[in-house]
Amino acid sequence: MSSDNTGRTAVVTGASKGIGAGIAKALAGSGAAVVVNYRTDAEGAERVVAEITAKGGRALAVRADVAKGEEGVRELFARARAAYGPVDILVNNAGVVAFGPLTELTEEEFHRETTTNMLAPMLTTKALAAQEDVTAASVVNVSTGGTLSHPAYASLYVATKSALEAYTIIAAKELGPRGIRVNAVQPGASDTEGTRAAGYVGSELEARAIAATPLGRSGTPGDYGPLVAFLASEDARWITGALVLASGGSR
């Protein structure tokens, strides 16, 4: 049985490519009208929208840098509501990463990762909760399996995602009485535009990660959409504050 999100409105941050694009397509396939948020890649976002609409789904690309503060987030929600009505599915997928030894940490990188991976999901969740006409909703935060494996050379990134997981659990407690569920998924290392650009795909590091993965491969953007569509749907009505590992068994 596949999940049904018919009649609902989803905002997926960072959906112009990679895991976010896979999630946007799956949510549209489950019946939701989807706002495909992007920061710079208008072409990628329009490609995702075209793929969804070609299959009879509803989607709209909206540019907003969610790490830039409340103004952009408010504009994103205003555009989503104007197009499709109250937002009742929010997927906080936009994320940035840089690997390197902790001795090379810069304050600039600290601010880049904390604003995108922590502040942005907090502001979008606040915006979702600020909608007084929403009585039931689902937020899914995209974390990482790295919060379990704690890999060396990812201290800042994993610290930001661990904070996102703590926020997920606390937000579930605060928003549960309003019928708003908040969960997180923990993807394993995956083949995306982002990890290709970072030189991970095809590297020795990837080969070692695959060897340590029971299901014997890297993740793909398509691996996460069905899980998120389920967590967003009424089928997951009793699930909130959960951190769901989806990593082919790697941990």
Ligand X SMILES: NC(=O)c1ccc[n+]([C@@H]2O[C@H](COP(=O)([O-])OP(=O)(O)OC[C@H]3O[C@@H](n4cnc5c(N)ncnc54)[C@H](OP(=O)(O)O)[C@@H]3O)[C@@H](O)[C@H]2O)c1
37 near ligand X, rule: CB under 6 A: yes
- The identity of residue 130, as a single letter, is A
The catalytic position among 157, 167, 200, 224 is: 157
Pick from 41, 88, 165, 223 the residue near ligand X by CB under 6 A.
41
Residues in region 143-162 near ligand X by CB under 6 A: 144
Considering the complex, state which of residue 16 and residue 240 has its C-beta at the smaller distance from ligand X. 16
- Helix H, strand E, coil C: the string for the chain is CCCCCCCCEEEECCCCCHHHHHHHHHHHHCCCEEEEEECCCHHHHHHHHHHHHHCCCEEEEEECCHHHCHHHHHHHHHHHHHHHCCCCEEEECCCCCCCCCHHHCCHHHHHHHHHHHHHHHHHHHHHHHCCCCCCCEEEEEECCCHHHHCCCCCHHHHHHHHHHHHHHHHHHHHHHHHCEEEEEEEECCECCHHHHHCCCCCCHHHHHHHHCCCCCCCECHHHCHHHHHHHHCHHHCCCCCCEEEECCCCC
Question: Of 212-251, which residues contact ligand X (CB under 6 A)?
Answer: none
Note whether 18 binds ligand X by CB under 6 A. Answer: yes
Residues contacting ligand X: total by CB under 6 A: 31
**Contact pick of 35, 49, 89, 97 for ligand X (by CB under 6 A):** 97
Site string for ligand X, 56-95 (x = CB under 6 A): ---------xxx-------------------------xxx
Kindly state whether residue 138 participates in binding ligand X, applying the rule CB under 6 A: no
Decide whether 42 or 136 has the Cβ nearer to ligand X: 42
Q: Closest separation between CB of residue 77 and ligand X, Å?
A: 14
Contact criterion met (CB below 8 Å) for 35 and 11 = yes
| Structure tokens given for 53 | 């609409």
- Of 98-106, 122-130, 168-176, 188-196, the window that binds ligand X (rule: CB under 6 A) is 188-196
> Closest separation between CB of residue 201 and ligand X, Å?
9
Selected from 3, 183, 195, 213, the binder of ligand X by CB under 6 A is 195
157 is catalytic: yes
Side chain identity at 67, as an amino acid letter? A
Task: Enumerate the active-site residues.
Answer: 157
Residues that bind ligand X (CB under 6 A): 13-20, 37-41, 65-67, 93-97, 116, 142, 144, 187, 189-190, 192-195
